[in-house]
Structure formats: structure tokens, C-alpha cells
Structure 1
Amino acid sequence: MMSRVLIVVVVLILASYAVLSSLFVVNERQQAVVTRFGEIARVEQEPGLYWKVPTDFVESVQIIEDRILRYDLEDITVQVADGKFYVVDAFLAYKISDPRLFREQVQADLARAEDRIGTRLNSALRQVYGQREFNAALSEQRGEMMREAAELIRPDINDLGIDVVDVRVQRTDLTQEVSQQTFDRMTAERLAEAARLRARGQEQAQTIRAQADRQVVEILASANRDGQILRGEGDATRNAIFAEAYGQDREFFAFYRSMQSYTRALQDSNTSLVLSPDSEFFQYFQSDNLTGALTPDAIEVPEAVDPAVTVPALTNDAEVAPEAGQ
């Protein structure tokens, strides 16, 4: 009885092992290659639960990634068209699109596949950069360069059962030597540009100042001309008025002009006049027709001065000099 129970238990254990070893699961991020006696029997690419022969010697399952993977290539030195060297970081996004071919070419070994990807990506980047100047990697040609690198590497990678999704250049940097040379060149270019801009500014400033000076001269000349014209017209009008007044009453005109001369000559209290009593300057003071008019005898003459000294008659434009020491 005990032996029968033991046999049943052993059979159940073997059956459970057989069932468990014959089942395998493929999730949504995986695909499986089933080999029989080392040869590929089938490929399972849809997620789910699958069966196989329980013994691994007969059938075995190799799980392969079914998602987009990334391979990074860092600090590679490339030479551009002008002979200078630069440091580049890039990465390649890929997906295993043909598991059967991938198993046949690299035994489904991802490390071996990435070694070959790195070699081909390195070669493609060197070829792309070698055909262009450094500035191309920093311009709108950058996208074209990445597409070109992807096209160069795609045929070789497809032979491994891998599809190239994208190639991206993360960094294009100068080596230390080239960096210093480039910095010096850019500094010299900026200094030259600054000098050129300053020279242009000075030239424009001189032009503007010359134009302003010319305009000032023209405006002053025009103003002086207009002023001379207005003064001439004013003088002509004044002379016409004086001539008309003189023609109407010569005696009154002479009297009026003499009164103006008296006002200008005598308005400064600090001024002393030394005149002869019979000077023409006092002719209206001597007039008998003026009530209360001053006579030459009313003018006090200093004793130290000879009364015979005469002073010319003053007109409108005559000036009277102050005494010495005033």
C-alpha cells in the first residue's frame, strides 16, 4: 500500500515538473525563439503562454527583447574636413525586428550585437564628420548629418536582424588644443568686428557733426542776411520818418534831437562836462523863446579850466567820457 502511494506521488511530481517545464511566458516586451536540437523551430512574438517539449535538450526557449533599446557611444575623436579633431558623443536607438536572423547571426547575444553596432556607428560618424566643417554640426545641417549616419549604418545592422530607429549626436566638442585655437580665433574676430564697428561709428559721427556744422553756418548766414535786410529796412523806414519830420518843421526837429542829446549826456550824475559857455551844445538853453530856459551863465565852470576851451556839439551818436578816476 505504501509503495503504491509513493509511486503515485512520484508520478505526480514528474507530471508537475513536465507541465511546468513545458510552459513558458512571453510578455509584451519580449519575443521568444524556440530551438529544437539547436535548430530554430519557431518564433513567438505575441505575448502569452506557450508550450514546448519539456526537456531542454529537445526544445529550449531563448527570450529576446522586443522593445526599443539604446546604445551609447561616448568620447570618440573624429576629424573634420579642415583637418581638426573633435570629441563626439552619440547614441543609436534600435529594435530587434527579426529574432530568427538575430539568433542566427549573433546567437541572440545582445553584447555581441552591440559590439558590432558600436563599430559600425563609430565608422559612420567618422565618415559623416570627415565630409564637413566643424560648424556644420552646430548648424541646420546637424539633422541631415544624423540621418546620413543612420542610413550608412542601417544596411549592416539590418543584417543582424536589427532595425535602426534613430541616430542622435548628443555632443560635439573641441579638443583642448583646438578649443584654445578656436577661442583665440574667435577673440580676434570679435576684436576686429568691434574695431570695425567703432570705426564706422566714428565715421558716422564725423559725418553727422560736419552736417550739423554746415547747417549751423547756413542757418547763421541766413539769419544774418535776414537781420541785415530787416535792419536795412528799419533804417530806411526810420530815415524816411526823420526826413518827413525834418521836412515838416526843421526847427522842431533840431530841437527834438538836441533834447535827446541832453538826455544822454546829462543822465549820468557822475559825469562832468567842461564846455565853453557859447558852445553850440547850449544853443537851446540860450534861446529867448524858452521861458525859464537855462543860459550859459547858469552853468558852473571849474576855475582850473580855461573857459575858452570849446567842446564839439553832441549828436545822437556822441558819447560823453566820465572824469578821470570815475
Structure 2
Amino acid sequence: MSNRNLTVMILIALVVFVGSRSIYVIKETERGVLLKFGEVVNPNIQPGLHFKVPFVNNVRKFDGRVLTVDSQPEPFFTQEKKALIVDSYAKFKVSDTQKFYTATNGEEARAMGLLAQRINDGLRNEVAVRTIQEVVSGERDQLMLRLADSLRDVVNAELGVELVDVRVKQIDLPRDVSESVYQRMNAEREKEAREHRAQGQELAEGIRAAADREVTVIAANAYRDAQLVRGEGDAIATNTYAEAFNRDPEFYSFTRSLKAYQEAFQGQGDVLLLQPDSEFFRYLKDSSGGK
């Protein structure tokens, strides 16, 4: 290979290398700053194809989408000096690339760490002026809104990021406190259960006593009504017998005697001892019943 061809190849390689170092692309999801010897000369590079001077200019790219910083659970003390373990997260995005680069050197991890620290400080201040009840349920949403409003201008001015939202994922009590709270809650529930059982037993006894009383009253009324009906029936029967007897006393006496004969002779015994002049044989001696 001749020296001329070698020189041409070296020049082509040098041109390709310089060209590759001179062209850069900013995507729609990215934000970027153009540096000149480490100094920001273009803080807001628009998406698209751009050129730079090799070895003079440098480009730093940042994610322009909404990012999430997940803080580690931290202990905070409420107004009653009770400890709570609060786990939170925040949504943010880069709003001022020059300020973001200056404050964090363009490192997302560092920006997340600084933002998480400020969120924890804000949470500590907000939790310190509230009770456990207010933090857990009563004013939880208000706490998040106030925290986001108070931090939004601060992080924008210091870090160059826009705070989109701050949320609490979970609020727990410390392990030792949780155990004591659980035991107290368990004791309260057992006490409440005993009270409900006692009230239920008292109510059951009252219902049972009322039912027994009602059964007794119903049975007494039924017995009274039955006796009245039976008495009326006996009266009607007695009256019927009396009327029948008064119509034909001799016939009534005759049928009574026949019934007595039937009952007396239906037994298995064949001996019957009676006086000859007994009334029992009245109609056997004389069909007319005369004495």
C-alpha cells in the first residue's frame, strides 16, 4: 500500500471520527444542555439532530419524563410524641435543565436523594403538628397537599425540578408499639364481645320468659275454654237425657236395665248371686216392669 493511499484512509477515518463526535440527537423524551469547557452555553436544547464542536462542546442528556423517587420508611413523631413509620414516594420531572445540572451535576440518583431528603423534612414538620388519628385518616390528604405546595417552589428553585405529586404509601407503628396497640385493641374487642354476649343472653332470657309466660297464659285460656265447652256440652247432654226421661220414664228405665244386663252377662263368669226380689230382675220377671 502506497503512502498516498494510507494518508487518504487516515484522513477518511479522521473525518468519520470527527463527524461522529460532532453530531448528537436529543429525543422527545429527553432534555439536554450544551457545555463549552464545562460551562453551560445552551440550557435548553430542543429535540432533534444537532451539531457541536468536538473536544470543545459536550452534551449532557436527562430524562424528561415524570420520574419517581421512592423514599425509605422513616420514623416521625406526632403531636403526642408517638412514633410512626411513614413510607412515601414522589413524582417529579426536570423543569430547569441548567439549574438541575448545576445542583446535581446531571445525576438523577443525586437529585432523587436530595428530593427525598426534603420530602422527609417536610413530612417530619407536618406530622409533628398532628395527632395519630389526623395523620392516619383524618387529615392525611390535607397533609399531602400542604406538603406538596410547600415543597414545589423550593425544589424548583434549588434543584430545577417540578414536583408533580407526593403520596404516602403506608403508615405503620413501630414493632414494639404495634404489639402493645394490638394487645390493647384485642382486649377492647374481647370486652366488647363479652358485653354483647351478656346483652344477648339477657335479651334471650327475656324472650324465653315472655314465651313461657305466653304459653302458660294460652294453655290456661285453652283449659278454661275447654272446661266451658265441656260444661255446656254436659249441660246439653243432661238436659237431653232429662227430656228423654220425661217423655217416657218407663222406656228409659227399660233400656237402662237392658244395658245393665248386657254389661253384667258379658263377662266369662257363669255365676251371679242376687236376691230374688232384687230390682235387677225387675224386667226379667215382668216385661212391663211391674213389681
How many Å separate the matches in 1 of 2:39 and 2:271?
144
**What pairs up with 1:136-215 in 2 under 5 angstroms?**
139=137, 142-159=140-157, 160-215=159-214
The residue that corresponds to 1:221 in the other structure is: 220
Q: Is the 8 A contact 2:92 2:164 kept in 1?
A: yes
The residue that corresponds to 2:88 in the other structure is: 90
- Larger helix percent: 2
Displacement of 1:71 in angstroms is 1.5
Tell me: CA distance 1:197–1:8, structure 2 relative to 1, closer, same or farther (3 Å): same
TM-score, length-normalised on structure 2?
0.82
Gaps of 5+ in 1: 292-326
Structure with max Cα Rg = 1
How many Å separate the matches in 2 of 1:240 and 1:172?
93
Please state whether the residue corresponding to 1:25 is helix, strand or coil.
Answer: strand
The residue that corresponds to 2:113 in the other structure is: 115
Please state whether the residue corresponding to 1:100 is helix, strand or coil.
Answer: helix
Tell me: CA distance 1:220–1:37, structure 2 relative to 1, closer, same or farther (3 Å): same
Tell me: CA distance 1:152–1:231, structure 2 relative to 1, closer, same or farther (3 Å): same
* 1:287-326 superposed Cα distances (whole Å, 9 cap, x missing partner): 32269xxxxxxxxxxxxxxxxxxxxxxxxxxxxxxxxxxx
The one-letter amino acid of 1:19's match is G
How many Å separate the matches in 2 of 1:181 and 1:165?
38
Tell me: CA distance 1:85–1:13, structure 2 relative to 1, closer, same or farther (3 Å): same
How many Å separate the matches in 1 of 2:269 and 2:154?
119
How many Å separate the matches in 1 of 2:165 and 2:272?
114
How many Å separate the matches in 2 of 1:99 and 1:274?
141
The residue that corresponds to 2:102 in the other structure is: 104
* 1:140-197 superposed Cα distances (whole Å, 9 cap, x missing partner): 8554444343333323222221112222323322322112112111211221222122
Tell me: CA distance 1:169–1:241, structure 2 relative to 1, closer, same or farther (3 Å): same
The residue that corresponds to 1:34 in the other structure is: 34
Tell me: CA distance 1:284–1:191, structure 2 relative to 1, closer, same or farther (3 Å): farther
The one-letter amino acid of 1:95's match is K
How many Å separate the matches in 1 of 2:270 and 2:230?
32
Displacement of 1:72 in angstroms is 1.6
The one-letter amino acid of 2:212's match is D
The one-letter amino acid of 2:67's match is L
Displacement of 1:75 in angstroms is 2.8
How many Å separate the matches in 2 of 1:272 and 1:98?
138
How many Å separate the matches in 2 of 1:81 and 1:257?
106
The 10-residue stretch of structure 1 (130-139 or 221-230) with the greater mean CA deviation from structure 2 = 130-139
How many Å separate the matches in 2 of 1:239 and 1:258?
19
TM-score, length-normalised on structure 1?
0.74
Cα RMSD (Å): 3.2
How many Å separate the matches in 2 of 1:263 and 1:127?
114
Q: Is the 8 A contact 1:30 1:45 kept in 2?
A: no
How many Å separate the matches in 2 of 1:277 and 1:141?
117
Gaps of 5+ in 2: none
How many Å separate the matches in 2 of 1:80 and 1:252?
111
How many Å separate the matches in 2 of 1:111 and 1:185?
43
Q: Is the 8 A contact 2:44 2:97 kept in 1?
A: no
Displacement of 1:77 in angstroms is 1.3
How many Å separate the matches in 1 of 2:270 and 2:203?
59
How many Å separate the matches in 1 of 2:132 and 2:200?
33
Q: Is the 8 A contact 2:34 2:45 kept in 1?
A: no
Displacement of 1:33 in angstroms is 0.7
Displacement of 1:244 in angstroms is 0.8
How many Å separate the matches in 1 of 2:74 and 2:175?
14
Displacement of 1:277 in angstroms is 4.7
Please state whether the residue corresponding to 1:54 is helix, strand or coil.
Answer: coil
How many Å separate the matches in 2 of 1:210 and 1:174?
49
Q: Is the 8 A contact 1:255 1:284 kept in 2?
A: no
* 1:18-44 superposed Cα distances (whole Å, 9 cap, x missing partner): 433332221233211113354322134
**What pairs up with 1:255-270 in 2 under 5 angstroms?**
255-263=254-262, 267=266, 269=268
Tell me: CA distance 1:200–1:3, structure 2 relative to 1, closer, same or farther (3 Å): same
The yes-or-no answer on 1:80 pairing with 2:78 is yes
Q: Is the 8 A contact 2:257 2:283 kept in 1?
A: no
The one-letter amino acid of 2:78's match is V
The residue that corresponds to 2:55 in the other structure is: 55
How many Å separate the matches in 1 of 2:187 and 2:270?
77
Identity over the aligned pairs, expressed in percent? Answer: 37
* 1:212-267 superposed Cα distances (whole Å, 9 cap, x missing partner): 22221222122122212211221121121111112111122223334444555665
Say which structure, 1 or 2, has more relative contact order (CA 8 Å, 6+ apart): 2
Tell me: CA distance 1:5–1:232, structure 2 relative to 1, closer, same or farther (3 Å): closer
